[in-house]
Copies of this chain bind each other. A is one copy, B any other.
Amino acid sequence: MAEEKMGRRARKKQQTRQEILDAAVQNFAAKGYSKTSIADIMEQADLGTGTFYNYFDSKEDVLRCLLERLVTRVHDALRENKAAGKSQIELLDIACQITAEFLDANRFVLPLFLSAATMTEVREQGENIPTPGFKPVYKSIIEAGQQDGEIRTDIPSDLIAEMFHSIFQAAAFSKLKISFQENVAMKTRLLLDGIRKQN
């Protein structure tokens, strides 16, 4: 890692940046993105307002960072688990589980995720914020499953991937009194049964 090579200076900088991100996350989670001001964030971080701009370009920049971070971590976690020779359906199940675990521990980003689309400039319909690589992970597993004959092929892989994506949305806003992870687990079961190739 580069971290070890960084001087004290650079390490301190990283740390401050992290503190700002943490503060942002807490505020976003508590009040929502648009109701959170940069002053709010920096006060929480116990830093001067102006300092913000030494680390980020804008409030939106923070959001972008948070989302990227989320995606990256999920992506990595999944890659590790794809190793063993499980069936694709099993892999999807595991993927959902890992994602759920991560989101459960970082619940706040999901609202961000969802609101991302609405809070910024006009984008091409349904384009919202990039979130590079979140759906692709799922998509690639699904396509492998379709080639293996495990998964139905009458529905495009993209579309199925979107359904997996929506599981987390649906669970995030669920009114049910079960845990987030259980919630995701049950929804995953429904979906897995729906996509399994019928003989």
Contact = CB atoms under 8 A, between A and B. Distances in A.
Interface of A: 30-35, 107, 111, 114-115, 117-122, 125-128, 155-156, 158-160, 162-163, 165-167, 169-176, 183, 186-187, 189-195, 198
Contacts of A128: 173
A188 to B, nearest CB: 10
6 contacts: A32-B120, A115-B117, A159-B183, A159-B186, A166-B170, A193-B193
A126 B166 contact: no
B194 A174 contact: no
Contacts of A173: 117, 126, 128, 162
Given A119-B34, A122-B31, A162 B174 contact: yes
B118 A33 contact: yes
A15 B141 CA distance: 53
A87 to B, nearest CB: 18
Contacts of A114: 114-115, 117-118
Nearest to A111: B118
A32 B111 contact: no
B176 A158 contact: yes
Contacts of A118: 32-35, 111, 114-115, 118-119
Contacts of A175: 126-127, 158, 162
Contacts of A33: 118
B170 A190 contact: no
